[in-house]
Amino acid sequence: MIKMNKFFIILSAILIYQTSNCSADTVTFKNKQSMEGVITEEAENYIILDIGCGTITLPRTDIDSIKKSSSPANTAIVENWKKQYFENYPAPTQEDQKLLDEFKELQSEKSKLTGDIARKDRVIKEISMTQRKIPELQEEQNAIGRNLKSTDAVKDILKYNNLVIELNLAGSKLREAVDRIRELQGEQEKIDSRLTDYINRFMDFREMIAQRKKEIASEKTNPEQNTFYNNLKEKFDELQKDIKYQEVGFTKCQEGVVVAVSFNGKVDAMMVVDTGAALTVISENLAARLEIAANKVKQDIELILADGSRIPAKFVILDSLKVGGAEAKSVGAAIVKVKIPNGVDGFLGMSFLKNFSFSMDMTKQKLILSRFK
């Protein structure tokens, strides 16, 4: 006799509840438990019961009695299951089945990414916190270095040796922080790659549905196919709730594509989209509008331009950048003194764009930004 484990009992209870609106076939077991479904096959030693989310083979030795429902009631139940357990039923045509298979793969991928999304939030917070410590660690190292320079290694050897130890420790702390940032950034890149692959696949699927709808609009479709697409749309809409999709208009200038950007929720600026720039680059004028005094920023960096030349810059972390409805927090940026092209305030680089899956529709002049909510 089959043992009725907890899962089986719970599943049975759920199914009885789900089919209570229409009378289904009812199988009563010798242990007095019962299960409702639609009997799809009866043999001498077993029966097969369709329970919507799959089928169960039940040996007759475990069964006490069977109460069968009418054929119309069973048909109604199966139609309800086709909607509820849509993915478990074959599609009307081969083309529709391709869409269904792709949809099931998307669902599977999405479930695997749940942990990645939570981990990414933690990684970004730790990167931001560690980056904010870098100027303080650099200043600590520089202060010890200045003190060491002014100390006579012969006359005050004890103090000198202690300062050397302090300098080494300060340098070690700075290197650890930088190494940790690199490690976290590497982890974030891997997560972003997986999320971006999913979103790109999601957007491709969205186009597949739109294309298939155009095709069937010109074809003679049967009621079953119409039901299939209505069910697919409902399921896809559920999946789509997790994706934030933004289309933002842009203009063109000699330097490229220009979009409006809101900085820290209070200052608007026009920025050239630059996918080749690791950091977002802003002018000193824009920094001043953001109430950032460039000469007081302690973290010095060097930017390498497209022609290979290098320019000095100041590194800051901006609270937020927003393009249309797409917002990213704690965005790294470089403040530069070099002349920024007329009409723009800087370059929107990957420190912002990496937070999204992005593409450009040059015909409609739209920047498309997508990511998980």
Whole-angstrom CA distances from 20 to 11, 72, 159 are 14, 15, 85
Phi, psi of 47 (to 5 degrees): -130, 155
d(CA 272, CA 250): 10
| For the chain, domain boundaries | 6-87, 94-241, 245-372
DSSP 302: E
CATH topology of domain 94-241: Helix Hairpins (1.10.287)
Structure confidence by residue, pLDDT tens digits, 191-202:
888 888 888 888
Tell me yes or no: is domain 245-372 CATH 3.65.10.10. no
**336: which 2 tokens?**
């530069």
Mean pLDDT by 10 residues, the chain (373 residues): 41 43 78 85 89 82 88 70 69 86 89 86 88 88 94 92 95 94 90 86 86 77 78 85 88 91 95 92 94 83 81 91 93 88 90 88 91 79
Domains 6-87 and 94-241 share a fold: no
- For residues 177 and 169, what is the distance between their CA atoms, to the nearest angstrom? 12
* Each residue's pLDDT tens digit, 149-176: 999 988 899 999 999 999 999 999 999 9
Class (C level, CATH) for 6-87: mainly beta
**pLDDT of the residue at 15:** 44
